[in-house]
Chain A
Amino acid sequence: MTQPTDTGRSPFDDLPGDLMIWVLIVSELLVFGAGLAAFLGVRLTDPAGFAAAQDHLHRAAAGINTVVLVTSGWLAALGAQAVEAGRIARSRALLTAAAALGVVFLGIKWAEYAGKAAEGIGVETHPFFTFYYLITGFHAAHVAAGIVVLLLVAFRARPREVEAGTAFWHMVDLVWVLVFPVIYLLR
């Protein structure tokens, strides 16, 4: 329980945005963080098998998706600044553009999954792919949810809601910059 200071202020008042969105962010980071640590832990048992499985991934597509997502996060951050400045139309345009880049991310991800399916690679092909589908699939689900959230807060265009919605989107962005090197790049 947060104890107010003598001035009546809670230390959590310094956090940008609502405390609850930070609780959500930390919870999600713990889940993905545990998943990535477990991935590297299991990799210890079969590094060669994990490296061979990783060669089936499309690193360039995942790299493009990194640029897409960090650019989307930038647009969302600008959208949050715009709504705080009372520039509602600009905020809506920026948040919609951020959501559109989220759709691009999912499109590339869909093509990646389709490629794996065409190769006959599934969840049970190798432990690498079990983690791959679990972690990237769970992340993609968060991207889909984030797109809906961004569009909702763009429509309502209220500073507090935009702040919470964009914070969720940045969390999705943050998770991806950790997932990308661990799953796709580390040899």
Chain B
Amino acid sequence: MAQVTKAWMLLLALSGGSTVLSVAVARGALTGTAVTLGGAALLALAWAKARTILNAYLRLDEAPAFRRGFGLTLALYALLLLALYLGG
């Protein structure tokens, strides 16, 4: 199976995870701290999807140094979003 096809399947699975979490929050299955943890998990899933697109679709897997650089920057940005989210 082509790497991009594996990446696509992973992206669908991660998107499914986001959907399950958001439905759980919308239906009130998560309350209090669990809602906040769910939000943090949503950001983690978004970070994983972004990494997958960078590495597989945009082929940074072929350039390890750039993959590490983009990966670090993306991780720091995800932490910034998480801090802003938790601050609310």
Contacts and interface: CB of A to CB of B under 8 A. Distances in A.
17 contacts: A16-B60, A16-B62, A36-B81, A40-B85, A59-B22, A63-B19, A67-B12, A167-B58, A170-B58, A171-B58, A174-B53, A177-B46, A178-B50, A180-B46, A181-B18, A181-B45, A185-B25
Contacts of B12: 67, 70-71
Interface residues of B, number: 41
B33 to A, nearest CB: 12
Interface string B21-49: 11001100000000100110011011001
At the interface, is chain B mostly helix, strand, loop or mixed?
helix
At the interface, is chain A mostly helix, strand, loop or mixed?
helix
A74 B8 contact: yes
What is the interface residue range for chain A against chain B?
35 or more
Interface of A: 11, 14-17, 25, 33, 36-37, 40-41, 43-44, 47, 50, 59, 63, 66-67, 70-71, 73-74, 76-78, 81, 167, 170-171, 173-174, 177-178, 180-182, 184-187
